[in-house]
């Protein structure tokens, strides 16, 4: 954990807006995941924190990677360019999954040389892969319950249980190899029953495929959704891990490889935002502060990820319910209408914690304001 004093020092040194990434926290979260889910190989979802330094740290820890675009693939591939060609190819197969179920033809054409692992969930994708990336290994994405997730995903991706095995057999008929089945229970899932239902559905698909003559599958990808501890309502990760471990042990023999795609879980608690008050006013009797960071920048997760990042003051004092706005001229740029803050002055710093996931990764330059400077500590 980075102290308030350290955050303030960094802001004074590098200026604001500032995003601080604590690599000790990245390593701690990775090791916690491996400790409590020892049979599961994590494939970090690069979209949660697409930064070369973040990828490098997790690479050194032994993480694999879930990518959803060629720029994300290249971000990971930059770490293995110096490997011998044979070892490099094996690493790609074992350590990268292209987990976007829908891929442009240009992407498939480029990916084919790497013989990658890719997901799919429909007939059209099978046709594209067969024509443009026939050397790929396939993973069928299932539609599963996302009840209780902060961000729902099954409305956009996933084959239904009724069509799943038909798709597997069709891919096989076209000369492709389906390596296994994947699912995603939704981002920041606090309903742990989603994993139980999804794992049991996956086991049913395995059994049906086997009964219909397909026996080539050897992996299960349990996706992401592992919740970050944003507040006390989020139950401990080890509780979820116990549930997952129990179901995996009961449903899948040891020779089946188990993958996962944690994103938020690795990076959320590693990020700190520090910004400066550039203006203040009283609106409808409420103190209102304008920061040089906002929802088009580090606080973008409030829109794209439905998350909230409480704004905190460095100084103490009697607090009042206050509004906090970003720097742009768009009325959408509202960080909060209800923060308990002491009386603050123009030029003072404020900060937010647990802001490392889906924030700077989706920041823009709207209105000409640049995203925060990213500073890495404890690399």
Please report the beta strands in the chain, taking only residues with DSSP state E, as ranges in sequence order.
18-22, 40-45, 64-67, 96-98, 117-120, 137-141, 149-151, 177-182, 187-189, 219-221, 257-260, 271-283, 286-291, 312-313, 319-325, 334-342, 349-352, 373-377
Instruction: Give CA–CA dist 197/38, Å, rounded.
Output: 21
- The token pair that represents 234 in the structure block: 């989020």
Residue 49's contacts (CB-CB under 8 Å, 6 or more residues apart) are 21, 263, 266, 267, 270, 271, 356, 357, 360, 361
User: Dihedrals φ, ψ of 68, to 5°?
Assistant: -130, 10
Task: State the catalytic residue, choosing from 255, 329, 331, 347.
Answer: 329
Q: Across the chain, which distance is largest between two alpha carbons, in Å?
A: 71
- The token pair that represents 125 in the structure block: 């994708």
53's enclosing H/E stretch is: helix 52-61
Query: Angle at Cα 204 formed by Cα 199 and Cα 205, nearest 5°?
Result: 95
Q: Which residue's structure tokens are 């293995």?
A: 80
User: Dihedrals φ, ψ of 128, to 5°?
Assistant: -65, -45
Contact 306, 357 (CB under 8 A): no
Instruction: Give CA–CA dist 360/242, Å, rounded.
Output: 32
Q: Give CA 252 to chain center in angstroms.
A: 26
For residue 367, cis peptide bond before it (omega within 30 degrees of 0): no
Q: 287 an active-site residue?
A: no
Instruction: Give CA–CA dist 14/151, Å, rounded.
Output: 33
Nearest to 99 by CA among 145, 51, 43: 43
**Which residues are catalytically annotated?**
329
């Amino acid at each position: 954990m980075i102290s308030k004093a350290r955050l303030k020092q960094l802001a004074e040194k590098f200026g604001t807006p500032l995003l601080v990434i604590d690599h000790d926290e990245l390593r701690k979260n990775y090791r916690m995941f491996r400790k409590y889910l020892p049979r599961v190989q994590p494939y970090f979802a690069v979209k949660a924190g697409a930064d070369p330094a973040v990828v490098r740290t997790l690479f050194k820890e032994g993480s694999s990677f879930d990518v959803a675009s060629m720029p994300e693939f290249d971000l990971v591939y930059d770490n293995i360019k110096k490997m011998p060609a044979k070892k490099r190819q094996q690493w790609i197969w074992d350590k990268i999954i292209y987990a976007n179920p829908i891929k442009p033809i240009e992407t498939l054409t480029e990916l084919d040389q790497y013989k990658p692992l890719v997901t799919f969930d429909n007939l059209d994708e099978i046709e594209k892969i067969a024509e443009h990336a026939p050397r790929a290994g396939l993973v069928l994405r299932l539609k599963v319950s996302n009840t209780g997730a902060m961000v729902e995903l099954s409305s956009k991706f996933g084959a239904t249980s009724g069509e799943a095995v038909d798709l597997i057999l069709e891919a096989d008929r076209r000369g492709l190899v389906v390596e296994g089945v994947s699912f995603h229970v939704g981002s920041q899932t606090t309903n742990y029953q989603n994993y139980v239902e999804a794992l049991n559905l996956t086991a049913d698909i395995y059994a049906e495929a086997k009964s219909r003559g397909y026996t080539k599958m050897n992996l299960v990808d349990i996706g992401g959704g592992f919740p970050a501890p944003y507040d006390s309502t989020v139950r401990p990760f080890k509780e979820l891990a116990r549930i997952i471990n129990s179901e995996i042990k009961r449903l899948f023999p040891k020779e089946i490889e188990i993958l996962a795609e944690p994103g938020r879980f690795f990076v959320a608690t590693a990020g700190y935002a520090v910004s400066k008050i550039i203006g203040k006013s009283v609106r409808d009797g409420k103190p209102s502060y304008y920061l040089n960071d906002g929802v088009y920048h580090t606080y973008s997760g409030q829109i794209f990820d439905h998350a909230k990042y409480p704004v905190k003051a460095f100084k103490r004092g009697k607090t009042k319910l206050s509004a906090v706005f970003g720097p742009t001229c768009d009325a959408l740029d509202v960080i909060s209408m209800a923060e308990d803050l002491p009386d603050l002055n123009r030029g003072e710093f404020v900060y937010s914690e647990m802001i490392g996931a889906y924030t700077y990764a989706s920041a823009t330059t709207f209105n000409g304001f640049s995203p925060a400077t990213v500073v890495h500590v404890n690399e």
